[in-house]
Amino acid sequence: MQFTRAEEYGVHGILYLAEQERNRVTPLSEIAEVQNIPEKFLAKIFQSLTKAGIVRSHRGVRGGFTLAKDPAELTLKEILEAIQGPYHLMKCITDRSTCPKEGFCALRELMILAENKLVSVFETYTLADLVNWQKHEKVITSS
């Protein structure tokens, strides 16, 4: 499994936003420049984040974005699903009709276990955790 560019850019963009003063309206051009992300692509990603209620869009000359939620209450799962939709390692996990194999499938069962663990990590960690790790350059190790 590999993150899409949209997910990677979205997380980096919102992480930058979370590092700013709470009510500072941050221009999209600034986020794109500092994070080295194509601005037009980031605009599409932030549209999804705005629609999901994760960020607020501010129009006008001094327009830009602010977080709509407290970083400590915003899980990585929420951010990723706002960008790409629900996470599934295999299509057959949610739609059995896509699998030509009938009955029990050991691979499908393994992927369900793996997906559950992955989603659990995304549900456990918040944007605030990422901000703290960024500040302290903490390396995440498996338990």
- What share of residues in the chain are helix, strand, coil (percent, to 5)? 60, 10, 35
pLDDT of residue 88: 79
User: pLDDT exceeding 90 applies to what percent of the chain?
Assistant: 60
pLDDT tens, residue by residue, 23-67 = 899 999 999 999 999 999 999 999 999 999 999 999 988 889 999
Regarding predicted confidence, which is higher, 140 or 8?
A: 8
Q: Retrieve residue 35's tokens.
A: 């994070």
Which residues have C-beta within 8 Å of that of residue 105, sequence separation ≥ 6? 92, 99
Regarding predicted confidence, which is higher, 71 or 143?
A: 71
Give yes or no for residue 10 having a pLDDT over 60: yes
Mean pLDDT of 133-139: 75
Contact 9, 44 (CB under 8 A): no
According to CATH, the topology of domain 5-136 is Arc Repressor Mutant, subunit A (1.10.10)
Between the CA of residue 43 and those of 19, 20, 47, what are the distances in Å? 19, 18, 6
Contact 40, 6 (CB under 8 A): no
